[in-house]
Amino acid sequence: MIHKEYPYDEDQAVPKTFPTQTDSTTGYSGRILAGDYSKKLKETVEEEIAACRAYDQIGLRIMPYIAAWRVDQPGIWYEFVSRQFLELFDISPDRLSQVFSNAIIDRRKYEQAELYPDIEEMILPRQKLNHQRQRIREESIQTGETEAVYKVQLPDNRTRWLKDWAMVKTFLHDGICLSPGCLADVSMEMQQKDQVDELNVMVNRDKGLLVEAERHAALGQLSAQVFHEIRNPILSIGGLAKRLSEHFPADGGLQYMAVIVNEAKRLENILNNLFSITSPVVPDPKPTDPVQMVKSVVGLLRSDLDRNNIKLSFRTHKHLPNLFIDRELIHESLVHIIKNSIEAMPDGGTLSIQLDETENSVLIKILDSGPGIAAAHEKRATEPFFTTKVYGAGLGLSLAKKSTELHGGELIIRQLDSGGTEVCMFLPLKKSDSK
């Protein structure tokens, strides 16, 4: 046997020089057989090396190895490394540990989920893995084994997935953990899995879009039919009731005629809104001052604010640019949004309206101090016909969302931690904007 010293500085875990034993016949390049360790540990290493070497000579696509580390120090070394493992990284055994560690992109672990037959995938990227190494080591010592899939980048920049399975044997007297294991290249399987995962994401997204499109198409067809079939009878009922009320004495059922007129008008408004949300709309954009537009909406609803004892807080940026929008569509959208906020505060409260400029849009933020929207209802708030009110068709926010998106904007509704609801309307700035 010839004794040599090899430089090793991984994490400064061990001295930069250490005794190893290299045999030109066996190719051994480790530490234990050349160190001052127990007979039991050395015999175990020799047995494991013999088994790994025999397995390696079969020529299968499995890469056996024997890793080892000191219980009280970070860093590992290899007592045996498969030829394929070394060829994969084109490196000598004494440098493989550090090179392999630096090549890891992520570590993946798979466990049976509570809901059979689902499998949970836990991915640790390199940065997080570096902080978790000690915990993973301690778990493997406790369980006596470790299993994971490593995504690695090879020296030639190819990406490979290597499945690692190893046992862990602890020799307390020597303060050494011995881990015979094997690696298998599962790149084909993992690439197919990642492709399937990407396809599943796309399918679920496209399925949602398809369902939404089909629902709107069906709603459009239904609303067009309802609009034309019901609108004329409602107009007739309302008109006749109004004419009759003109000939009734004050105490002769006039109040009943008024109810019929008002309800017929309400139904007509619902039909108009339903037809608006399903019919194609082409915006007619023109330069619009957003501050003046919002003030116009507030002025229109001032009597509702006063009647409900609601305090108004209005704040705006001093120099907001004009928006290139269809003023009528956005004006109507803001009416629906603010009406919703007013109706959420029947016993009074505070309505806060803020206008500001973001990087590429004007933000109109409307906050109320009402009870807020339930978490379960946040995603459904803009669905047609969804409402939590006793009276209401649930079309106002749907119209607001549609009008905002027609302008390339976004409408976000969320529950505030402090209570109340926040509605954010983002309207994009255009190159043609001018002050």
Domain residue extents for the chain: 2-185, 193-278, 286-428
The Cα 146–Cα 379 span in angstroms is 42
Kindly tell me if the per-residue pLDDT of 275 is higher than 60. Answer: no
Class level of CATH domain 286-428: alpha beta
Q: How many CA atoms lie within 13 A of 276 on its CB side?
A: 21
Q: Which of the pair, 279 or 169, is modelled with greater confidence? A: 169
The answer to whether the pTM exceeds 0.75 is: no
Report pLDDT for 351. 92
Kindly tell me if the per-residue pLDDT of 276 is higher than 70. Answer: no
Q: Are 77 and 30 in contact (CB under 8 A)?
A: yes
Phi/psi of residue 121, nearest 5 degrees: -105, 125
pLDDT in tens, 11-26: 333 333 333 344 433 5
pLDDT band at 169 (very low <50, low <70, confident <90, very high): very high
Strands 145-153 and 159-167: antiparallel
- The proportion of the chain whose per-residue pLDDT surpasses 90, expressed as a percent, equals 29
Give the architecture-level CATH label for domain 2-185: 2-Layer Sandwich (3.30)
pLDDT in tens, 211-241: 655 665 555 555 555 555 566 666 667 676 7
pLDDT in tens, 122-159: 888 888 888 888 899 999 999 999 999 999 999 999 99
For 118, counting Cβ atoms within 10 Å of its Cβ (0-12 exposed, 13-18 middle, 19+ buried), the class is: exposed
pLDDT in tens, 388-429: 443 443 456 777 888 888 889 998 888 887 778 899 999 998
Report pLDDT for 203. 65
pLDDT in tens, 98-109: 899 999 999 998
Please, which residues have CB within 8 angstroms of residue 193's CB and are 6 or more apart in sequence?
A: none
Q: Which residue has the tokens 């004495």?
A: 249
Q: Identify which of 7-11, 41-45, 213-217 has the greatest average pLDDT.
A: 41-45
Q: Are 315 and 366 in contact (CB under 8 A)?
A: no
pLDDT in tens, 281-337: 677 889 999 999 999 889 888 888 988 899 999 998 778 899 999 898 898 889 888
Q: Which of the pair, 58 or 157, is modelled with greater confidence? A: 157
Please, which residues have CB within 8 angstroms of residue 146's CB and are 6 or more apart in sequence?
A: 136, 139, 140, 164, 165, 166, 168, 179, 181
Which residues make beta-bridge pairs with 21?
3, 30
Q: Average of pLDDT values for 329-357?
A: 89
